[in-house]
Amino acid sequence: MNKDIAKRLANFGRYVIRRKFWGIKINKNWRKRHTEELMQMFGVSDTFSFLKISRLTWIDHVNRMDSKKKRK
């Protein structure tokens, strides 16, 4: 994955989160949440880091599957 694709994925991820959870109603008044607030709310620092972690988790899963097949 190159930097351009990572940047586009990060932008798309922020766009989806903002569209879904951007508005918040406090005391009958609406306000917009900031991107940093949304990312903190979901515990995601950025999309690229999330993708790296997901990829590592998948690799670990595949390794365990391979080791189970070798045991049989």
Task: Give pLDDT tens digits for 20-70.
Answer: 777 778 888 888 887 778 777 777 666 677 777 778 888 888 888 777 666
12-17 mean pLDDT: 80
Exposure pattern of 9-18 as b/e (b: 16+ CB <10 Å)? bbeebbeebe
Residues in contact with 39: Cβ distance below 8 Å, sequence separation at least 6, in sequence order? 14, 17, 45, 46
Mean pLDDT, rounded, for 8-30:
81
Q: Which of 60, 65, 69, 51 is CA-nearest to residue 8?
A: 51
Comparing C-alpha atoms, which of 36, 6, 43 is closest to residue 18? 36
Q: Residue 44 has what pLDDT? A: 67
Residue 30: predicted pLDDT: 85
Distance (Å, whole) CA 49 – CA 14: 13
